Each structure stands twice: as structure tokens, then as C-alpha cells.
């Protein structure tokens, strides 16, 4: 039983196709993420669902109703913009109450109070947007959308203007509120880590198409093509012919092979502990070492191409730049594309 259905939606601007035959379905209460590079059409798809853009071809259904031709105010969807878009002349309270007043709902006061409580903004009711921090403004924007009890909540990169720490805490909070209200949510981001931690389901988009959909772990462990492999997991993607040459074996068939950087291991040349049953070995040298938090990333140059190898950072165990190494490639971790 799907709650949101997008059926073969196509949309173009002038002579450029921005959404190319997109179909997807969501279950009620699901947290779905549209993930893709800048310009791939994520915002356009979201805005089409909200009714802020029309579509050229295709249908959009929510809860069994065809909403393709409804105006935004009839669709019962809520949206949070990247730039918050709070009304600058209204207090926090009035911003959140605006929609309720428009719909002439009863008990405005208590509903707004509950919402302010939920997004943890007690004491800020009478503040104006310009008196709030970015994170607080984003909470107001979220509350303003949620208080309407929309059928679907749309979030267009709501956290991307915030710094890393606040971003992390708001991710958690957003997820908590989403679960608490059991609200069907479509979240847009181009940050794959954010998509992984928050989503029940990810739709990877490229050039106006959905190229793969699935749970975060499905997408991460079995990418369907080079684009997803590179975009999601920083996979090492290697041409099959080149790979055959490097490992001196033609055991694998296919066009390309993708290997995640964290399944590779490095050993010094000489201390050969290569298990030929389980692994292949590729000789090379360390071209570069970089550190991203707790992960050490080696860039290993081989005779044909460079490989990324990720290690958890342990004290004292580190290869120097220029060191000659052998990369151990576990056979069962190789994904054929």
C-alpha cells in the first residue's frame, strides 16, 4: 500500500529536461531521501510535489488522491526551505500560527504551544526571526510546517546552512520528531552521510532520473552502477581489463569492478601474508595520506590506477608517504558493475 506515488513524472525548462520519467512510491510514515549532485533535479521534484512547479507529464498521488493539478494550498503538504523563509515581520508564535489562522482552525494557541514545546523553543515565542540563530530559525520553519499536520513533509536541504555540530544534533531531533508524529517525509540532500544516517529509504538521483532506490545499507553495499558507487561510498571503480592486468587473473567478468576503500588492506612489501584463496594482491606505493576524523585515507598509486584505502586510525600504525606496499583485495568484496 503506497501512500505517496509519483508516476512517470517528466518536467523540462526551455529545452532542458530536468525530471526524466521519474516514478517512485513511499509507504506511510517512511523517511525517504532524495540524494544526488547539485543540479540533478531534487528541488524541482520536491517543488513539483508541493505544487510550486507544474509537471509536463505524469501523475502525483497522495493518500489515494490525484493531486497533480491541485494548487499548493489544497495539497496538504508541508515544506521547509533551505533558507527557512520565515516571515520577518512576525514573531515565532505568529509564524507558527499563520497557517492555522489561514485555515481558520480552532485552538490555535494550544496547538502552537505544543509545537513550540516539541521543537524545543519555549521562551522564544515572542522573538522575531532576526533575533534567532540559524538552528532556531530552522526549528521554527519545521514547527510552522508540522503544526498543519500535513500528509507529507518536504524538506529541501533544511540543514545545509548550519555548521557541522548543530547539523548533527538537528538531524537527530528531526528524526525523533518524524518518528514521534509518524509523518511521511521526503528529505533532500546532497550529503551522502546525512542521507545514510537519517533515511529509511534513499533514492539516488542523477541527471533527472532515479538511478537506484533502497535502504541505506542496500545502496551502500550493492550499488547498481558506477555513478552510485562513486557517489555513495567513494568506491574504487576500476575498468575490468585494467583490473585483470593488476591482479594477474581473469577470474572476474564484467565491465567494471567496484571495491569499497575500507575493505582493502595494506601490507608492507616483503612481509607477504597473502592468502591467495581469499585475496588478490596489487603492488604500489603510498602517494598520499590524509585524515578525516578517525579515518586514515591512503591514496595508493599502482602501475595502472590509484586506489583509496581507508583505515581506522590506530596509534603508531601508519604507513609513511612513499612506502612500498601491497594492497590486499578480498575477492568476495568485489562488486561487478
Ligand X SMILES: Nc1ncnc2c1ncn2[C@@H]1O[C@H](COP(=O)(O)OP(=O)(O)OP(=O)(O)O)[C@@H](O)[C@H]1O
- Quick one: which of 151, 150, 122, 149 has its CA closest to 136? 122
The answer to whether residue 293 forms part of the interface with other proteins (CB under 8 A) is no
Which member of 144, 167, 190, 260 binds ligand X (CB under 6 A)?
190
158 binds, among other proteins, Mg ion, ligand X, none (CB under 5 to 8 A by kind): none
The answer to whether residue 161 forms part of the interface with other proteins (CB under 8 A) is no
The answer to whether residue 79 forms part of the interface with other proteins (CB under 8 A) is yes
Q: Is 29 exposed, middle or buried (0-12, 13-18, 19+ CB in 10 A)?
A: middle
- Quick one: which of 177, 157, 145 has its CA closest to 77? 145
Which three cell numbers, joined as nine digits, stand for 245? 592486468
Which member of 24, 33, 35, 41 binds ligand X (CB under 6 A)?
41
Among 37-45, 146-154, 211-219, 298-306, which window interacts with ligand X (CB under 6 A)?
Answer: 37-45
15 binds, among other proteins, Mg ion, ligand X, none (CB under 5 to 8 A by kind): none
Ordered DSSP codes for 15-48: TEEEEEEEEEEE-TT-EEEEEE-TTSSHHHHHHH
38 binds, among ligand X, other proteins, Mg ion, none (CB under 5 to 8 A by kind): ligand X
Which member of 85, 242, 267, 289 binds other proteins (CB under 8 A)?
85
Among 33-41, 60-68, 102-110, 245-253, which window interacts with ligand X (CB under 6 A)?
Answer: 33-41
Among 66-74, 111-119, 185-193, 280-288, which window interacts with other proteins (CB under 8 A)?
Answer: 66-74
Q: State in angstroms the smallest separation of the CB of 145 from Mg ion.
A: 17
How far from chain centre, in Å, is Cα 235? 16
Ordered DSSP codes for 76-122: -EEEE-TT----TTS-HHHHHHHHHHHTT-S-HHHHHHHHHHHTT-T
Residues of the shown chain interacting with Mg ion in the complex, contacts defined by CB under 5 A:
43
Among 25-33, 35-43, 63-71, 239-247, which window interacts with ligand X (CB under 6 A)?
Answer: 35-43
18 binds, among ligand X, other proteins, Mg ion, none (CB under 5 to 8 A by kind): ligand X
Tell me whether residue 134 or residue 330 sits nearer to Mg ion (CB atom): 134
Q: Which single residue is written with the C-alpha cell 583485495?
A: 329
The answer to whether residue 43 forms part of the interface with ligand X (CB under 6 A) is yes
Q: State in angstroms the smallest separation of the CB of 22 from other proteins.
A: 21
Among 39-47, 170-178, 234-242, 291-299, which window interacts with ligand X (CB under 6 A)?
Answer: 39-47
Q: From the CA atom positions of the chain, what is the Rg in Å?
A: 24
- Please tell me the distance from the alpha carbon of residue 174 to that of residue 314, in angstroms, as a whole number: 33
Contact 240, 257 (CB under 8 A): yes
Q: End-to-end distance of the chain based on CA atoms, in angstroms?
A: 32
39 binds, among ligand X, other proteins, Mg ion, none (CB under 5 to 8 A by kind): ligand X
Q: Residues 69, 74, 78, CA angle at the centre, nearest 5°?
A: 110
Q: Which residue(s) pair with 312 in the sheet?
A: 295
Q: How far is CA 158 from CA 19, 47, 205, in A?
A: 21, 14, 18
- Please tell me the distance from the alpha carbon of residue 287 to that of residue 233, in angstroms, as a whole number: 21
107 binds, among ligand X, Mg ion, other proteins, none (CB under 5 to 8 A by kind): none
Binding site for ligand X (CB under 6 A): 13, 18, 36, 38-44, 190
Residue ranges that bind other proteins, judged by CB under 8 A: 50-52, 71-73, 75, 77-79, 81, 83, 85, 87-91, 98-99, 102-103, 128-130, 144-145, 148
Amino acid at each position: 500500500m503506497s501512500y505517496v506515488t509519483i508516476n512517470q513524472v517528466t518536467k523540462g525548462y526551455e529545452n532542458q529536461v530536468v525530471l526524466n520519467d521519474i516514478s517512485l512510491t513511499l509507504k506511510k510514515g517512511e523517511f525517504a531521501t532524495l540524494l544526488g549532485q547539485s543540479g540533478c533535479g531534487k528541488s524541482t521534484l520536491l517543488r513539483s510535489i508541493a505544487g510550486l512547479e507544474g509537471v509536463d507529464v505524469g501523475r502525483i498521488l497522495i493518500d489515494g488522491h490525484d493531486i497533480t493539478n491541485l494548487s499548493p494550498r489544497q495539497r496538504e503538504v508541508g515544506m521547509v526551505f533551505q533558507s527557512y523563509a520565515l516571515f520577518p515581520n512576525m514573531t515565532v508564535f505568529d509564524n507558527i500560527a499563520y497557517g492555522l489562522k489561514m485555515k481558520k482552525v480552532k485552538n490555535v494557541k494550544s496547538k502552537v504551544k505544543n509545537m513550540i514545546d516539541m521543537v524545543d523553543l519555549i521562551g522564544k515565542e515572542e522573538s522575531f526571526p532576526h533575533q534567532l540563530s540559524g538552528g532556531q530559525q530552522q526549528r521554527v520553519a519545521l514547527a510552522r510546517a508540522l503544526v498543519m499536520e500535513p500528509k507529507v513533509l518536504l524538506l529541501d536541504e533544511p540543514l545545509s546552512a548550519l555548521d557541522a555540530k548543530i547539523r548533527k544534533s538537528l538531524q537527530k531531533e528531526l528524526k525523533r520528531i518524524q518518528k514521534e508524529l509518524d509523518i511521511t517525509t521526503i528529505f533532500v540532500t546532497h550529503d551522502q552521510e546525512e542521507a545514510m544516517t537519517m533515511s529509511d529509504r534513499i533514492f539516488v538521483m542523477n541527471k533527472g532520473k532515479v538511478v537506484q532506490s533502497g535502504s541505506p545499507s542496500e545502496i551502500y553495499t550493492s550499488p547498481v552502477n558506477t555513478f552510485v558507487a562513486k557517489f555513495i561510498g567513494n568506491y574504487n571503480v576500476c575498468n575490468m581489463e585494467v583490473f585483470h592486468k593488476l591482479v594477474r587473473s581473469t577470474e572476474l567478468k564484467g565491465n567494471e569492478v567496484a571495491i569499497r576503500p575500507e575493505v582493502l588492506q595494506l601490507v608492507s612489501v616483503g612481509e607477504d601474508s597473502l592468502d591467495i584463496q581469499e585475496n588478490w594482491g596489487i603492488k604500489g606505493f603510498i602517494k598520499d595520506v590524509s585524515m578525516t576524523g578517525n579515518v586514515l585515507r591512503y591514496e595508493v598509486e599502482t602501475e595502472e590506477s590509484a586506489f583509496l584505502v581507508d583505515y581506522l586510525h590506530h596509534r603508531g600504525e601508519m604507513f609513511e608517504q612513499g612506502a612500498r606496499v601491497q594492497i590486499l583485495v578480498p575477492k568476495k568484496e568485489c562488486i561487478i558493475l
